[in-house]
């Protein structure tokens, strides 16, 4: 399930994508346009900046902007940065693999096989949304 933090991050990224050619956007404007709590949004934007998805500028004409074109940012990338791996169980994660407790044979585990299909479908959709920030 998508957390509130990830949902707000996606909303903010979509708004910033819409303003991509118009410069920086103030946090207060993003919060108002996206109906998001400003203080919570500040933390989210700082996190996205620290991870390289955003850049910021202080002073007049300042605010936040995407650090690269919207077409180069996937929804999956944003979700992973905020909520972590897309995989429902650790043994099918590409970015945070971990062996499941009590697993005798990963190659033959029926749960793993089904959850790998789920993970692949989610990743295909979210990672295939290049430019999906441009609604």
Mean pLDDT of the chain: 90
| Residue 100 pLDDT | 85
What is the mean predicted confidence (pLDDT) over 81-88?
93
d(CA 133, CA 96): 25
| Domains defined along the chain, listed by start | 4-66 (1.10.10.10), 70-127 (no CATH)
130: confidence class by pLDDT, cuts 50, 70, 90? low
Tokens standing for 76?
Answer: 């999956």
For residue 116, the model assigns a pLDDT of 93
Q: Tell me what pLDDT residue 81 has.
A: 95
| Burial (Cβ within 10 Å: 0-12, 13-18, ≥19) of residue 83 | middle
Mean pLDDT of 107-130: 88
**CB proximity list for 13: less than 8 A, separation 6 or greater:** 48, 53, 66, 73, 78, 133
Instruction: List pLDDT tens digits, range 13-37.
Output: 999 999 988 889 999 999 999 999 9
């Amino acid at each position: 399930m998508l957390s509130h933090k990830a949902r707000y991050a996606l909303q903010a990224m979509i708004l910033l994508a819409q303003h991509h050619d118009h410069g920086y956007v103030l946090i207060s404007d993003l919060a108002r346009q996206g109906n998001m709590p400003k203080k919570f949004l500040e933390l989210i934007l700082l996190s996205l900046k620290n991870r390289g998805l955003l850049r910021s500028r202080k002073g007049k004409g300042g605010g936040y902007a995407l650090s690269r074109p919207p077409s180069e940012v996937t929804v999956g990338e944003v979700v992973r940065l905020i909520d972590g791996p897309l995989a429902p169980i650790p043994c099918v994660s590409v970015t945070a693999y971990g062996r499941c407790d009590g697993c005798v044979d990963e190659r033959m585990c029926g749960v793993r096989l089904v959850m790998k299909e789920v993970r692949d479908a989610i990743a295909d959709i979210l990672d295939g949304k290049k430019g999906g920030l441009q609604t």
